[in-house]
Structure 1
């Protein structure tokens, strides 16, 4: 995996950590009310949920990925997944209040129990089917570009998770400031930006199936 792939993977992890939803607010809420250790326990569960989704997406679509490797035109499928996910994100009308209410459906006891927080983080993330769709799109994009090399794919997603985890750690440490700044208007704008970025990535991926790799690489580098 070259330095470009590393930066790309790290940025994906960074952006995934800022997808607005119940997990985002629950992580901040847990950090403020229970402290950094409790929030880290919760976040480890969330990250394990993401790893589970990555494995499901990878092994569940492996036969399709093998075809994409041999037929670049099937990049269209991965691009379509990202565009659909981007449109859902862009037009999602869920407010900050609704996201907080969803987050509160899983209560944290007054006395922090790190094991319970871990499992609550895992299941709160795991029940979000939209997260699976996001990881599926990324897996479909990444697998063929890395020539389905298991080692390269492993290190790519390890870097994604590293970027995700480090960003979440920053969110935990800056929880109070983030909570005060996440107004409905800011959340609205973040969702719009994330939706547009996902749509753009999807369009680029579709084009990649019809434009020779040499031309794309020359534009990127």
Structure 2
């Protein structure tokens, strides 16, 4: 069970999507801790989905079976991606290395900034319809047929979530290292490129459910 969870976590970690770009963007903008904050929001969302799959599978299945659930979930997730992307495209941001006021800011202000990054990761993962159907698919294809007990479930989910934590942490660290080699112009270009990618993901998601 542990090996299965690890392999599933690795397959998820190598997927290219909005979550990856959100972690990279935060790491480039504000450094390792900001990237880790986004990842932390994603992890918390995944833990909630694990609990829902474990104890509320019937409720999740009933909700997803509601008329037009996929459409409304896709529209909500798509609009969220477009909103974050537009923010990147049109709101001028300054990297932490170029913002002395940010470095001298009170801890409370920095904590608010990290919380905003955390909330971004949480919302991107929670409202994403792919995440909802992924967890339902896991329950239907792996958990229910396998008839696993508590020990097996802990090993499976522990292996998967542990792998995601390690790989997402490495992504945030890699973004910090990349940031060291970027000039202000490069940083702005990266931010706008990620913004464009997020908008594109959002539009594609909405188009697919309509």
Under TM normalisation by the shorter chain, which class is it?
A: 0.5 to 0.7
TM-score w.r.t. the length of structure 1 is 0.55
Q: Does 1:153 align with 2:145?
A: no
5+ long unaligned stretches in structure 1: 31-38, 204-221
Computed over aligned residues only, the root mean square deviation of the Cα atoms, in angstroms, reads 4.5
Which string of whole-angstrom CA distances, capped at 9 and with x for unpartnered residues, describes residues 148-182 of structure 1? Answer: 73432332233333332222222111111651532
2:112 corresponds to 1:108: no
Does the aligned pair in 2 maintain the 1:44–1:121 contact within 8 Å?
Answer: no
C-alpha separation in 1, matches of 2:14 and 2:7: 11
8 Å CA contact 2:24–2:171 kept in 1: the answer is no
Query: How far apart are the structure 1 equivalents of 2:169 and 2:161?
Result: 12
Counterpart pick for 1:54 among 42, 46, 57: 46
Task: State which of 10, 14, 25 in structure 1 corresponds to 2:13.
Answer: 10
* Paired position in structure 2 for 1:216: none
Q: Whole-Å Cα distance in 1 between the matches of residues 206 and 176 of structure 2?
A: 29
Kindly indicate whether the alpha-carbon contact (under 8 Å) linking 1:25 and 1:99 is maintained by their aligned counterparts in 2.
no
Deviations 1:32-86 (A, max 9, x none): xxxxxxx3344444433333333334435654434567x8x84985786356313
Pairing 1:12-91 to 2, within 5 Å after superposition: 12=15, 15-19=18-22, 26-30=26-30, 39-59=31-51, 62-66=54-58, 74=65, 81-82=73-74, 84-90=76-82
Q: Is the 1:27–1:42 Cα contact (8 Å) retained in structure 2?
A: yes
Of residues 168, 189, 193 in structure 1, which corresponds to 2:196? 189
Q: Distance in 1 between matches of 2:59 and 2:194?
A: 38
Task: Report the secondary structure of 1:174's partner residue.
Answer: helix
After TM superposition, give the deviation of residue 4 of structure 1 in Å.
6.2
Q: 2:166 aligns with which of 162, 167, 173?
A: 162
In the alignment of these two chains, the number of paired residues is 182
> Which TM-score applies when normalising by structure 2?
0.58
Unaligned runs of 5+ in 2: 145-152
Equivalent residue of 1:108, what SS? helix
